Amino acid sequence: MLYILNETKDGREGYKVVVLSTDGKEEVIAREEQCGVLKELEYFAELLEGKDSGNGLPKNTLLDVAVIQASLTSEGNTVDLLKLIGGH
């Protein structure tokens, strides 16, 4: 059996994928921190404070924030992401 569980590890929310064998033993096969707009903005704020959370380069964080902003302000219109991020 395979199932996915929410978990909090080191104060960060995420999930883990667990395999349950027929003899009842559990094996965690994957763990992932939750991603999303709030996490991207959190990483961006950390970079502004001079903290490197290890989640990528500052330039990539800025590109992520640009895509998020374009998505939130597009009013349903098509956004040319390649033009937005300058072909990166």
Cβ atoms of 19 and 26 closer than 8 Å: yes
- pLDDT tens per residue across span 15-53: 788 888 888 888 888 777 766 666 777 777 787 788 876
Here the tokens at position 77 are 């219109």
Task: Give SS3 for 42.
Answer: helix
Query: Can you tell me the distance from the alpha carbon of 14 to that of 7, in angstroms, rounded to the nearest whole number?
Result: 5
Average pLDDT for 1-16:
76
pTM of the full structure: 0.38
Q: What is the pLDDT of residue 56?
A: 64
| Residue partners of 13: CB distance under 8 A and separation at least 6 | 6, 7, 33, 34
pLDDT digits (tens, 9 = 90+) for 53-70: 676 677 777 787 788 888
